[in-house]
């Protein structure tokens, strides 16, 4: 899979666009900036937008090409505050009780990896911190607007409610957005959106 993503990100254009994910932007608007974790960040569109709005960003992706393009995008906006790490997010050791916000934007994992990784994200979130997630649902197989073709890597509200049961859910719903996120996320889609906070104690 690493080779697949390196090849995709090696294209000159930003294959998921340069603007932030709409749900991510909406959820962060109005929040006091702090430290933000973006696993599977890809080409940096969300990281750069957040850093421009005062967030201290740590991004992780195992694609070297993704890091190259994210760094170029940050430099274009005269940003030097993004900490972009290269590594497998399922194996990476994240500090616990640390991040004011964690955003998982179209981070799709196989079932065994998914549950363990989501548990790890709950531990890394600081008490009172916010977790944001948008992912494709199984119904996305009816659309050609992006996402995995493996149904086991698509998410449902029930699945996420179980994975994040240690958090306090603020929003968990399926939606049909019209995506305009570069050539690989374009058109009508079926996604699940979630925001949840970690209890203070």
pLDDT tens readout for residues 139-193: 999 999 999 999 999 999 999 999 999 999 999 999 999 999 999 999 999 999 9
* Owning domain of residue 146: 2-197
Q: What angle do CA 190, 194, 197 make, to 5 degrees?
A: 175
- What integer pLDDT is reported at residue 1 of this predicted model? 66
Task: Look up the CATH number of the domain holding residue 170.
Answer: 3.40.50.150
Cα(71)–Cα(28) distance, integer angstroms: 22
Instruction: Report pTM.
Output: 0.96
For the stretch 38-94, pLDDT in tens is: 999 999 999 999 999 999 999 999 999 999 999 999 999 999 879 999 999 999 999
Total structural domains in the chain? 1
């Amino acid at each position: 899979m690493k080779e697949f993503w390196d090849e995709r990100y090696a294209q000159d254009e930003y294959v998921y666009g340069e603007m932030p994910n709409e749900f991510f932007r909406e959820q962060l608007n109005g929040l006091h900036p702090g430290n933000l974790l973006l696993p599977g960040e890809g080409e940096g569109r969300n990281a750069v937008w957040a850093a421009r709005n005062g967030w201290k960003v740590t991004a992780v992706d195992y694609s070297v090409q993704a890091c190259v393009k994210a760094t170029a995008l940050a430099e274009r906006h005269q940003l030097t505050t993004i900490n972009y790490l290269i590594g497998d997010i399922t194996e990476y050791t994240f500090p616990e009780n640390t991040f004011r916000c964690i955003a998982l934007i179209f981070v799709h994992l196989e079932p065994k990896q998914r549950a363990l990784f989501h548990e790890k994200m709950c531990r890394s979130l600081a008490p009172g911190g916010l977790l944001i997630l948008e992912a494709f649902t199984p119904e996305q197989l009816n659309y050609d607007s992006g996402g995995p073709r493996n149904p086991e890597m698509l998410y449902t509200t029930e699945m996420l409610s179980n994975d994040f049961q240690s958090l306090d859910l603020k929003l968990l719903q399926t939606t049909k957005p019209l995506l305009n996120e570069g050539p690989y996320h374009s058109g009508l889609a079926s996604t699940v959106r979630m925001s949840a906070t970690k209890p203070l104690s």
